[in-house]
Amino acid sequence: MSGKSSKRNTTGSGRPASQDQSVREQKRAQFEEPRRRSTLHIVLAGVTLLIVVAAAAAFVSSRGGGATEPATTQAATGGDVKIALADVGDGKAHFYSYDAGGTQVKFFVLKSSDGKVRAAFDACDVCYAQKKGYHQEGDEMVCNNCGRRFPSTKINEVEGGCNPSPVDRTIKGDTLILKTADLQTGVQYFQ
């Protein structure tokens, strides 16, 4: 054999080319297996992420983070919305919706820790454009957009900024009365 033929049949390692081919195939198989494993890990991580996101969404909706539909109110004779005090006296925020000529004006009513019945739009001057409203945590109303907290005793007392925008209300006997003209002023928050 000439020097050229000898070089063609061997590699720089001095092994025959067929043996070198076998080593290459083993190395290739060794590196391809982890690639398959990493793809599996990526798929599993993606599925896990979807489960975590779904669980977080379920948690937020269970806290009342805007996922529940408010009760729809009707204007009674005389044009006012009337709500029985017994329906809102449990210290929990009760969410309602009033049809103001095709725009659903959302508001909530609650009996605060000081015993007063309070009402406010489910919106504020700052975050209303996101249409996320509030939810209740203990004795506080919490903005679903920015997370700011407002004590129940300050609803209808403090206004502006991210405070729930107050709705005027009166109590006659065992009934809370909201004038439709006052609810109409909230249309700006829900268009």
Number of domains the chain contains: 2
Residues 6+ apart with CB under 8 A from 26: none
Bridge partners of residue 119, in order along the sequence: 109
52 & 77 share domain: no
**Structural domain of 56:** 3-62
8 & 87 share domain: no
Torsion of CA 88, 89, 93, 96, to 10 degrees: 10
77 & 58 share domain: no
Confidence of residue 136 (pLDDT cuts 50, 70, 90): very high
The model's pLDDT over 174-190, given as tens digits with 9 standing for 90+, comes to 999 999 999 999 999 99
pTM: 0.62
120 & 137 share domain: yes
The model's pLDDT over 19-54, given as tens digits with 9 standing for 90+, comes to 777 888 877 776 665 555 677 778 777 777 777 776
48 & 84 share domain: no
Write out the DSSP string of 22-62: HHHHHHHHHHHHHHHHHHHHHHHHHHHHHHHHHHHHHHHHH
